[in-house]
Amino acid sequence: MDLNNKKRSVWTGVAAFFGLLVLCFVLLMLVGVWMGKRDYVGPDKIALVRVEGVIADSRDVLKQLDEYHKNDTVKAILLRIDSPGGGVAASQEIYQAVKKITEEGKQKVVVSMGSVAASGGYYIACAADSIIANPGTITGSIGVIMEFANIEELIKKVGVKTTVVKTGPHKDLGSPTREMTPEDLAVMQEMIDDVYDQFLQAVSEGRDMEIEQIKPLADGRIYSGRKAKELGLIDDLGNINEALEVTAQMAGITARPLVILEEKERNPVAQFLEGIFNGGIGSLLPSSIQKPGLSLQYRWQ
């Protein structure tokens, strides 16, 4: 009996040991999940929000900005922009959200530019309290673009005919099945000029420059980060770590701040297919048909 009891005790001990290991593993997993959340407990936090790729949808960035703005433990926001720009409306929505935060003054917003922060990416940056770029960052490209594909001749060769019933001469403006008339072009140019003026106004307010000072710089050309600093389009040069230090200083944080960010969950299959399209087949297509749909763009080609 004593031997059996000893065996039971050994197995009980082994089971308890492995049970403790499992419990520790579960606790570590829970701590990891908790650490991945943004609602930390404690002071001196800086939220990192990323604007990456072509700006087509503003919802994710707006959601993050809104939540961080409402979080009293977040002292400042570091906006990392690595984008050639994108849709006018989406860029303007993010710009307005950043501007609202900076105007309220409760939190500082600093922009750190990555490889590219052009056109719509630069538009958004103009709402921040400070803009920091790398010397080799591609920025600027202040302007508006709208592209149209014309397949009229191809349709004729194939032998296809189209019939359009419309309520006005410009209702099918931009149709790929016909050439644009001078009147069509005048209508489009008027709208483009209006949206361009909105861009100039945003740069003027954000950089504290007169519009007449900006216009010579705003012909769509791109600048290096170093040149942009010389022209007053950004505030300073530095990498993301140096931008983080500036953000902490502006927020009055003396100790090393806790940086929080929202990790994006992406479908690996969709990510793989997107990589093939953008890096392979998609790159061979004309830019006017790579991204379907007709829209005004603050975008660098």
Residue reference for tokens 């690996």:
268
Catalytic position from the list 7, 106, 171, 283? 171
Question: Phi and psi dihedrals of 75, rounded to 5?
Answer: -85, -25
Residue reference for tokens 């829970």:
30
Whether residue 224 lies in the annotated active site: no
> Strands 74-83 and 45-52, how do they pair?
parallel
Whether residue 58 lies in the annotated active site: no
Contacts of 188 (CB under 8 A, 6+ apart): 146, 173, 174, 180
- CA dist 123 and 130 (Å) reads 13
Instruction: With beta carbons less than 8 A apart as the criterion, state whether 135 and 225 touch.
Output: yes
In sequence order, the β-bridge partners of residue 76 are 46, 108
Catalytic position from the list 119, 130, 141, 175? 119
| Active centre residues (catalytic) | 119, 171
